[in-house]
């Protein structure tokens, strides 16, 4: 079929009648499909169930250094867990602190601490007239929610195929000392699945911010979440690169096992310079007597080491890969050549990014919902929920079963077609 923009008004109206009949048929199915978040499926959770059997009441819950995991203490995490997560995050164990189950919680704490107590002796952000953050867009809605919650002004920075627009990032941070941070999902980004190029990472490490307390919030959430063994994205390690560039304190690196083991009971970590970790530990000593060391030990006993973790992620990939391929296949089959949408084809991570014609995303998502398909709200991938083009839609393939996903994508493509025709017809009027 030729591109919609090349069709006559009469051809578009006739096509819309056919598509509307198909949409009514979908509505008659009473569907209840959910693609609203990047939640692991039950099948993915099942592959971690062996973790429930690695510890029992008869097991020795003592670490190699004599730490009794049942008791208080060890604020920064047991040695074995630090080694495991450090390997996953590609850092040295002495540059890491192990937390509870949520890296988002760690990021919230990091912003909160900066607001109330400053960064390494700097003025607390709450005492400043203005605090700003750079936000690569489209990006992760929960990042934006944290900075919005604290009243931090968010500035959009466009994403490119190699990462954020670094010309703009360099210009902004050098000129404005009220810019205190930037959110980053550097590998298989949320929602586009883009991995930052070597040049982008090096330019990040060599930033010359006007603010001495500027920090890169490096959320490497999908560090080992590949879809293919023989085709993986690789990322330069940011802590080492910052040290080489003479900026050892400029980055906080976050990760967790939320989509490796159990999202509700994984382990999270922050990696940073010695100076940053000393600063963080001042708060941690007041905040807690220690995180769940039994759960840390459980993860170590289950995975063994990074090699066990990598093998485990191959099982995840075997479940995720057909879903990603089904989404791409449906988009190419149903929308290819129509010039009414573009989409990414990631090699890992949890999302596919779809861009509709300008002004159509909210209507597409609403139309999907009316037929039983719930998606991430249009605009969620931008600060304040405001997509200036109303075009970006995040597709989250992980949670539905493969048959449900295929059905959902057929409905999604149908809604894109109908809404696009309406948009083009309104312009022809």
Query: β-strands 215-219, 179-184: how paired?
Result: parallel
* Other C-beta atoms lying within 10 Å of the C-beta of residue 244: 12
CB 296 within 8 A of CB 78: yes
User: Where do the DSSP E strands lie in 65-199?
Assistant: 96-98, 132-137, 153-160, 163-164, 179-184
What are the structural domain ranges in the chain?
Answer: 4-45+310-428, 61-304
Query: In this predicted structure, what is the pLDDT of residue 428?
Result: 77
Highest CATH level, class, for 4-45+310-428: alpha beta
Q: Whose CA is closest to 394, among 225, 191, 193, 195? A: 191
Highest CATH level, class, for 61-304: alpha beta
291, burial (CB in 10 Å: exposed 0-12, middle 13-18, buried 19+): buried
pLDDT digit string (tens) for 255-294? 999 999 999 999 999 999 999 999 999 999 999 999 999 9
Query: In this predicted structure, what is the pLDDT of residue 81?
Result: 98
pTM of full prediction above 0.75: yes
Q: Enumerate long-range contacts of 2-11, CB under 8 Å, 24 or more apart.
A: 2/337, 3/337, 3/338, 3/339, 3/340, 4/338, 4/339, 4/340, 4/417, 4/420, 4/421, 4/424, 5/339, 5/424, 9/425, 9/428
Query: In this predicted structure, what is the pLDDT of residue 1?
Result: 82
DSSP 8-state secondary structure symbol assigned to residue 424: H
DSSP 8-state secondary structure symbol assigned to residue 153: E
CB 174 within 8 A of CB 209: yes
Query: In this predicted structure, what is the pLDDT of residue 247?
Result: 98
Preceding peptide of 138 cis, ω within 30°? yes
**What's the rounded Cα separation, in Å, for the pair 249 and 244?**
11
All residue ranges of the chain with pLDDT < 50 are none
Query: In this predicted structure, what is the pLDDT of residue 22?
Result: 98
């Amino acid at each position: 079929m030729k591109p919609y923009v090349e069709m006559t008004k009469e051809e578009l109206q006739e096509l819309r009648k056919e598509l509307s009949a198909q949409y009514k048929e979908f509505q008659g199915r009473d569907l209840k499909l959910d693609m609203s978040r990047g939640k692991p499926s039950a099948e993915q959770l099942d592959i971690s169930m062996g973790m429930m059997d690695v510890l029992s009441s008869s097991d020795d819950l003592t670490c190699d250094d004599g730490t009794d995991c049942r008791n208080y203490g060890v604020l920064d995490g047991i040695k074995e867990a630090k080694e495991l997560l450090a390997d996953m995050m590609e850092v040295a164990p002495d540059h890491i602190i192990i937390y509870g189950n949520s890296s988002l919680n760690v990021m919230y704490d990091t912003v909160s601490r900066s607001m109330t107590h400053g960064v390494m002796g700097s003025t607390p952000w709450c005492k400043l007239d203005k605090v700003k953050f750079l936000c690569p867009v489209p990006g992760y809605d929960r990042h934006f929610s944290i900075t919005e919650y604290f009243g931090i002004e968010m500035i959009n920075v466009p994403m490119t195929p190699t990462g954020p627009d670094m010309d703009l990032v360099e210009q902004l941070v050098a000129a404005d000392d009220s810019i205190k941070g930037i959110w980053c999902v550097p590998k298989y980004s949320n929602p586009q699945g883009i991995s930052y190029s070597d040049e982008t990472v090096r330019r990040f490490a060599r930033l010359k911010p006007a603010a001495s307390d500027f920090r890169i919030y490096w959320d490497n959430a999908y560090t080992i979440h590949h879809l293919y063994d023989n085709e993986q994205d690789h990322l330069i390690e940011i802590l080492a690169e910052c040290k080489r560039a003479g900026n050892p304190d400029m980055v906080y690196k976050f990760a967790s096992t939320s989509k490796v083991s159990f999202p509700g009971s994984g382990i999270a970590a922050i990696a940073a310079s010695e100076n940053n970790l000393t600063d963080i530990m001042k708060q941690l000593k007041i905040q807690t007597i220690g995180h769940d060391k039994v759960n840390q030990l459980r993860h170590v006993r289950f995975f063994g080491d990074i090699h066990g973790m990598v093998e485990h992620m191959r099982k995840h990939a075997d479940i995720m890969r057909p879903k990603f391929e089904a989404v791409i296949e449906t988009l190419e089959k149903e929308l290819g050549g129509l010039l009414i949408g573009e989409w990414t084809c990631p090699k890992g991570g949890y999302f596919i990014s779809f861009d509709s014609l300008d002004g159509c995303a909210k209507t597409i998502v609403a139309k999907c919902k009316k037929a039983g398909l719930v998606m991430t709200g249009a605009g969620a991938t931008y600060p304040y929920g405001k997509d200036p083009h109303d075009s970006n839609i995040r597709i989250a393939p992980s949670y539905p079963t493969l048959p449900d996903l295929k059905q959902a994508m057929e409905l999604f493509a149908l809604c894109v077609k109908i809404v696009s025709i309406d948009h083009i017809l309104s312009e022809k009027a």
